[in-house]
Structure 1
Amino acid sequence: MTSKTLLQPTHQHLRTLRNKLLHLHQVLLETERIAYEQVRGRVSGGELLQLIVHHQQFSWLHPLSELVVQIDEILASDEPIVLEDVKNAIASARTLLSPIETGNAFQSRYANALQRSPDVVLAHAEVSQFLMSKIW
């Protein structure tokens, strides 16, 4: 199999991973927004963006945001995407999305979000299933 034949499946696999992670991120943001608004009242889209960037309640989501950005950078690069790039992104996602109550800030908050929201469970299942799939 030549590198040309590897390029398209590798690119597509990485793009699919990115989209599934982005969907999970959006679901997690929505659950945090709802929790925030239950205590402090409704927020506008602009206010929500500021909260996402600066408020402690949303800061635990930054590692997931950063992983999506890293994948975006790989996809946007002029360099060909190699299998190793995909494997590294998959490994990072598997490590990050390990819901461990006694884990790091992301892992413990993620475990809590899985307990609170069926939407998070569904998005997590979708990403997890994809992470377990063969690349080819």
Structure 2
Amino acid sequence: MMPMMRTNNWIPTVFNDLFDADFMPKANATAPAINVKESDKAYTVELAAPGMKKEDFNVHINDEGNLIIKMESKQEHKEEDKNTRYLRREFSYSKYEQTLILPDDVNKEQISAKVENGVLTVDLPKLVEEKVKVSRQIDIA
């Protein structure tokens, strides 16, 4: 007589069928896209943040002179169907932090930021180097 092995294979299948369905949204663990541009007068950092508001961002310079960009958004939606007494809740939470080491030629006192059309734009103006003219008479010995 052969021993019989009992397994409950239906449990994982039920969960796989439930959570692997196309209608179930999957978590997206990707970071926002960042563009960095340079011109003669400034650097510009652009961070894609669709649906985010100005209040969702914190942009500052730390003690080491690095630019810190933090983004955090919490949303809760409730919908109640009066006919079936069903309560549906959706939670959305996203948090992102990026540290950028700034070049030495950035004027840290003039940095500005704005949010427009789902894009955070941080302007990093360059220091204006005053070119000192070194003109002088040289004595001939």
TM-score computed with the length of structure 1 as normaliser: 0.23
* Structure with the largest fraction of helix: 1
In our comparison, the structure showing a higher alpha carbon Rg is 2
* Larger RCO (alpha carbons 8 Å, 6+ apart): 1
* Structure with the largest fraction of strand: 2
TM-score computed with the length of structure 2 as normaliser: 0.22
